[in-house]
Structure formats: C-alpha cells, structure tokens
A and B are shown apart, each in its own frame.
Chain A
Amino acid sequence: MDAVERANAEKQKRWVKDQKVGEGTYAVVYRGREAATGRRVAIKKIKIGQFKDGLDMSAIREVKYLRELHHQNVIGLLDVFSSKTNLNLVLEFLDSDLEMIIKDRSLVFLPADIKSWMAMTIRGLEFCHRNFILHRDLKPNNLLVASDGQLKIADFGLARDFADPGYKMTSQVITRWYRPPELLFGCRYYSSAVDIWSVGCIFAELMLRTPYLPGETDMDQLRTIFRALGTPTEEEWPGYTKLPDYIPVGQFPKTPLRDLFTAASGDALNLLSRCLIYEPRRRITAIEALHHPYFTGLPYPTHPSKLPRPASRASRPLEEVDGNVDMVDSGPGVKAVASNRLKRKLSSPMDGVRPLARRLDFTQHKGS
C-alpha cells in the first residue's frame, strides 16, 4: 500500500460512523465519534461516483475553505478522508441551528440573547471576509449552534474568494429570502456586502421570530424588499436601474423600521438599517459592525452557555422527510422494501440531525 493510501486508511480508522441521520442525492450524513476519545462528530459522506466531472464544486469549495479557516465561530473541519468513491468530511458535531431555535415557540428571546447570536455571527463572518472569502449562503439554517451555545457558520458549498476587480461572478447565489437586491437585479460584480445583507435579514428574523423578507419568487422578493424598505431612489442607490436584470417592481413608500420592530433599541435598529442599505458600497462592513455601539451598549450580550436552547431532543417530533431526502436504508438486503415510493418517515429520531449540505434540507421544522 502506498504511503498516501496508508495515511488515508489510518484517518479512516480514527472515526466511527454511528448512525445515519440523513441522506440526500449527493451526500449522507452520519453522527459519529472519534474512536480514541469518543468525541462526537458529524461525518458527511459525499458520493463522488455520481459526478461525471469528478469531485464536485460544492464539495471542493467546502473542503478548500474549511481547511484554511480556523475560528471559534466557523464550523471546524476535523478531518477529510476518502473511501472508495466517497469523500468523507469529519465536522464538528453541532446540536442545533438558529432556524430551529427561532422556530421553537417555547423559547423566549431576550434582547441580550439576540445580541449574542449576532455578535457570534458577525465575528465568524468578519473572519471569513478578513480571509477574502465570501460565504454566499448565510441563513439561520446555516448558523449552527454547539452544545456550549457557540454559534458557528457552516456550509461553505457556495463560498468563493473575493474576485479581482472586473472579474464576473454569478449572481445566482444566496437563498432567496436572504439575497440582496443587487443580486436579484443580476449584478455580476459584488463583494462582502452581499453577506452583510443576509446578516441584516437574519437579525430582523431573530427579532420578529419569522422570516423578514419571504419572497415567493425572485420578482416577488424584490417587491417584498421594496414594500418593507421603500423603493430605492436614484440618490439612495445610484445607477441601480442600469443593472443587467433591472425591472421596475413598483413604487413603495419608506416606512420607519420602528413601525415593525416596536421593541428594538435605537442601536439595534441603527445596525439593522445599516446592514440593509441598498447601495452595497454604503452597507456596513463586518468589522465596522463589530464596532457598532449596539454591541457595547446595554444590555450586554448573553454568555453563549446561557442562551436559549431548543427543547430536549427526545421530545422533538419526527419530521416528514423533505422531497429531496431519500430514505435511510439499511443496506441492499432491505432496500426493496424501504423504497422511496413508500412515504415513510425518516427512520431515525431527529436527534442531532444537522443540515450539513445545502441539498440536505431535512430540517424543515415547521413551527413545532
């Protein structure tokens, strides 16, 4: 056996898969542990054999960036190894995510709790931006929360390096509700400001406990944004009507954020409004946001360990499996029976199920 193969085999032995917790078209996620220490991990097995172009881009991006990024508020990639035609990513095990927490109606959020989650989100994001990396898919469901309350940015499947000036990027990134207007208008030159818009939407969602700008189509998304924040004027956002996919979606008046966010502090609203500035160049940056008075003013952010946590796992109900998730099957022997046509529920309790891949959207926690 070659040295490289041997090293790989040793890595493989280091980790034990305990339980399959979800399966999508491209990946299977297991709950696992480190053999020697028992430390809990999540193992994401990406099936490479299916891709005609070899290792697929989202796997490559995720591995590339997580290999480089080491920060308390960015999910840790502990190891990577291959097995036959699969790529295995060993990730930090994280109990829950911000979407679950927001939707858990039994939890009460204090302003200090929201501040703590925001601080951790922006700290993680500032670290990405400092490393010249755009995340391009920030949403509550990609902000995972560890058992000690630390929030970690996950899913770097759409991430990329900052482009050089004049280099075109795709505008088809970021989940619609969190997508900034410049991308909806087809802007191909953009920067870290796109992530900041998403952060603004997440901030609003934490306060409202429901998605702030839930558009039904890309067009409707623009309308939803303008209805909430007013149609931008040429002065507010110079030149936006010249963007490639510009389309007028109607004139809406500006309403003060205060009308909707009745309980928010002045500092909170100021930070929110600066994340949601139309002109991307005027939008607050991550480092500026960290220095915003909101974070230094009272109340101080809640210590991560004291943050609200979702109800105990045992009591969480089983979820109907989302359409793009296959059944957990126990191998060839029973495959014929447990076929997709039988609309079975996910066969394992949802404990510790983490949305690790974009395509693994099995945490559709519909208001439990």
Chain B
Amino acid sequence: MTAEPSETHSNSPPGKAPLYEASTQFKSWRYSPKRLRHVRQTLNAAAVAAIRKTLEADEPGSSTSVSFLQPDDELLLVKLYTTKIPQLCGHFRFPEEVEATAISYLKRFYLKNTVMDWHPKNVMLTALFLATKTTNNPISLDSYTSNIPKTSQSDVLDLEFLVAQSLNFEFAVWHAHRALWGLWLDLQSLPDVTESLRPLEVYETALKHVRVSRFTDAELIYAPSQIALAALSLVSPFLCQKWLDSKMPSDPIAAESHRQILEQTNSEIENMIMQHGQPPDVEAAREVDRRLKLCKNPEKVVGSKAYLTRRAEEERRAEEKRNKKAQDIRKTSEGEDPFGSQLAGSQESQSVDDDDDD
C-alpha cells in the first residue's frame, strides 16, 4: 500500500465500490510518499525560480544573496501553523470535525501553493473559517476575527477564494476520527469482546493518536480507516486483532495476505505518528520565518515595486476590457427603443460578455 496508490486495489465487485472510493478525497488527494516529495519539490523549485526572476528584474544580482526556503523549511512552517488550529478550535469550542477539516485544507493548500507566495498564518485563518462553513458550523466573520488578536476581516476573506480554488472546491473530507468511532462501534458488537475487554480509555488514547496523526502526512497517503486502525493497534494490538478477525474472509490464504498488508500499513502509520507527530521546534520554525521575510514573493508584498507593477498591469487589462464592453454596449443600444427590443429575442445569437464587473 505504500507504493503508488492504485485504483485497482479494491477487492469489491464491480458496481459495489465502497463509497469512500467515489469521494474526491480518494480521487484527488491521495499520494505516495514519493509523489508527495516530488510535488513539494516541484512547487518549491518553481517558486524559487519565479521569485529569483522578479528580484533580478528589480535589481540585477540581488537574488544571489537570498537564502530561499527548501521544501523541508516550508513543511516545518506549515506544520507550525497546523498545530495552531487545535488551539484556535479549543478557544472557539468548534467541533472536532471543524478542526480536522481545517487541518486537511491547510495541508492540501500547500500541495498547490508555496509558503513563499502565501504565508501560512493567514491561510490557516482562512482555512479554518472556510471549514466552519463547509462542515455546517458557520459563525459570523465578525465574531471570528474579533476573537483572534491582530486579525482583520480582510486577512480572512481575501484568501478565501484562493483557498477554495486551491482545494479545487472539493470541500468534503473523510476523517480518521470518524473511522475510529466506527471501529469502536464494531468492537461493541463483537460477541467475544466483552465490555471489560474494551475499556473506554483505549478509545480515548487511540483518538489522541488520530489527533497526532493530523500533524503528519498520514491522511495524504492512507485512508481514514487505515489511520484509525493503526491508532487502535498502537493502544491495543489485541482489539485490533479482534476487529481484523471479524472482518477477514473465510479463505485462509486470502486472509493471511490481507493481514500482512494491513500489518505493514499499521506499522508504517504507527511510525509516522510516533516520529513525526511532535509539534515542530518553534525556534527552528521562527528561523525559517525570518528567512521567509527576505525570500517571499515580492509580487505578493503589498507596496513593493514588483507588487505595484503587477497591479498596474492588471488594472490596464481590466480597463481595456471595460472599454471594450462599453463600446459593445454602445453599439448594440444605438437606435434601439429604450425599453429594449430584446423581447423579440434579437440578442439571441450574441454571446454574453464574460466580464464580471458586477
């Protein structure tokens, strides 16, 4: 399962694919570890090249002294802001689903964008605000921003579109904590797993592992149910076995091969949780942030020369479009009844102006 996730590993008969496999999460947001590394490297390299070019255009030779962020630096900073989400959610008393969804959004965002273009602080705030809405727990922007120090409404709203776009408008996220709850319900219905064999602490500790897994890449590589099973196995290999026994096919050879695969993924996920789940070293993250100030994309720094140039170009293009639109309208409205002859369908064949000034 660690190799490239394939569309074919499902053993389900055709037409009976699990619901999860019809999800956008399954289709768009699963990576192999190798692929994940590649995506991050590519994004990072492209950003460095673009920023270098902008810097050079501004002042030749100025980019040589800049220490650009490496993919690992970016990851570290994103991770730091990922760990801020549970803090904020605790403050607002948002349900777990909001927290988990916001974290997924933040991670997914940085598989399409780089830290050097968009600082994770505001992206995190936006991702969380968006998650409150997509999980049906909306709060007003006003009460959201007024409860977060030094945050204006535009810090949140300005990026909302960009975040939604980066997510490809795929808002639904399947979570490991839900899967864990499902496992727990399953265990309660197993006849030979008596109540004393499944103390609630097992579930609670496993849930903690699931929460820790959110600070890792696990959800980008594995299915929520795999993460949940690994979290359970970390706490109680016995209950994990019991659950597996209840799900295994009767054919012993097939069962053995399933079991081997699952044990393999379990240990991989367990390693991720144990080794990569710790909060990042704040000092190291701060150092990255310091370097980021010097290497972030000047086109996105309000007031910089590159920013102004880009803005001027955008404005020029918009102006051109507006003029054209106005001209078109003048053309069509000339000599027309002010009450419009459109009723006769005279504009039928005319294409609608695609401009969005309204």
B157 interface hit (Cβ, 8 Å):
yes
Contact with B along A45-56 (1 / 0, CB 8 A): 101100011110
On whether the beta carbons of B165 and A331 are closer than 8 Å, the reply is no
Within 8 A of A (CB), among B105-145: 112-113, 117, 129-130, 133-134, 136, 138, 140-142
Given A52-B141, A331-B329, A17-B343 contact (CB < 8 Å):
no
On whether the beta carbons of B329 and A20 are closer than 8 Å, the reply is no
B333 interface hit (Cβ, 8 Å):
yes
A347 interface hit (Cβ, 8 Å):
yes
On whether the beta carbons of B342 and A328 are closer than 8 Å, the reply is yes
Find the B residue at minimum CB distance from A169. Answer: B136
Chain B min CB distance to A234 (Å): 33
Find the B residue at minimum CB distance from A13. Answer: B354
- Residue from B19, B129, B168, B339 in contact with A131 in the complex, judged by beta carbons closer than 8 Å: B19
B352 interface hit (Cβ, 8 Å):
yes
Q: Determine the chain B residues whose CB is within 8 A of the CB of A331 once the complex forms.
A: 325-326, 328-329, 353
Given A17-B351, A55-B133, A334-B333 contact (CB < 8 Å):
yes
Within 8 A of B (CB), among A56-88: 57, 60-61, 63-65, 67-68, 70, 80-87
Q: Determine the chain B residues whose CB is within 8 A of the CB of A60 once the complex forms.
A: 133-134, 171
On whether the beta carbons of B157 and A84 are closer than 8 Å, the reply is no
Given A82-B161, A331-B325, A57-B138 contact (CB < 8 Å):
yes
On whether the beta carbons of A344 and B23 are closer than 8 Å, the reply is no
**Stretch with Cβ within 8 A of B (4 or more), from A1-9, A194-202, A286-294, A301-309:** A1-9
Complex CA gap A28/B355 in Å reads 13
A251 interface hit (Cβ, 8 Å):
no
On whether the beta carbons of B343 and A347 are closer than 8 Å, the reply is yes
A-B contact count (CB 8 A): 133
Query: In the complex, which of the residues A63, A83, A84, A347 has the most CB atoms of chain B within 10 Å of its own CB atom?
Result: A347
On whether the beta carbons of B172 and A349 are closer than 8 Å, the reply is no
A281 interface hit (Cβ, 8 Å):
no
Contact with B along A1-33 (1 / 0, CB 8 A): 011110110001000111110000000101010
On whether the beta carbons of B141 and A54 are closer than 8 Å, the reply is yes
On whether the beta carbons of B340 and A347 are closer than 8 Å, the reply is yes
Complex CA gap A64/B43 in Å reads 27
Q: Determine the chain A residues whose CB is within 8 A of the CB of B283 once the complex forms.
A: none
Q: Determine the chain A residues whose CB is within 8 A of the CB of B358 once the complex forms.
A: 28, 47
On whether the beta carbons of A53 and B138 are closer than 8 Å, the reply is yes
Number of interface residues of A (CB under 8 A): 58
On whether the beta carbons of A53 and B329 are closer than 8 Å, the reply is no
Find the B residue at minimum CB distance from A83. Answer: B356
Complex CA gap A342/B337 in Å reads 14
Given A52-B141, A55-B133, A57-B138, A334-B329 contact (CB < 8 Å):
yes
On whether the beta carbons of B352 and A82 are closer than 8 Å, the reply is no
On whether the beta carbons of A54 and B160 are closer than 8 Å, the reply is yes
Contact with B along A26-46 (1 / 0, CB 8 A): 001010100000000000010
A160 interface hit (Cβ, 8 Å):
yes
On whether the beta carbons of A64 and B171 are closer than 8 Å, the reply is yes
On whether the beta carbons of B339 and A333 are closer than 8 Å, the reply is no
A161 interface hit (Cβ, 8 Å):
yes
Q: Determine the chain B residues whose CB is within 8 A of the CB of A348 once the complex forms.
A: 342, 345, 347-348
On whether the beta carbons of A4 and B352 are closer than 8 Å, the reply is no
On whether the beta carbons of A333 and B338 are closer than 8 Å, the reply is no
Complex CA gap A337/B336 in Å reads 12
On whether the beta carbons of A30 and B352 are closer than 8 Å, the reply is yes
On whether the beta carbons of A347 and B342 are closer than 8 Å, the reply is yes
B156 interface hit (Cβ, 8 Å):
yes
Complex CA gap A7/B117 in Å reads 16
Complex CA gap A338/B326 in Å reads 16
- Among all A-B residue pairs, the 10 with the closest Cβ atoms: A333-B329, A347-B342, A64-B171, A80-B169, A17-B352, A83-B356, A84-B356, A331-B329, A53-B141, A54-B160
Known: A12-B354, A57-B136. 8 other contacts (CB 8 A): A3-B112, A18-B351, A20-B352, A60-B171, A64-B134, A67-B169, A68-B172, A70-B22
Q: Contact residues of B with A, CB < 8 Å?
A: 19, 22-24, 43, 46, 112-113, 117, 129-130, 133-134, 136, 138, 140-142, 156-157, 160-162, 164-166, 168-172, 325-326, 328-330, 332-333, 338-340, 342-343, 345, 347-348, 351-354, 356-358
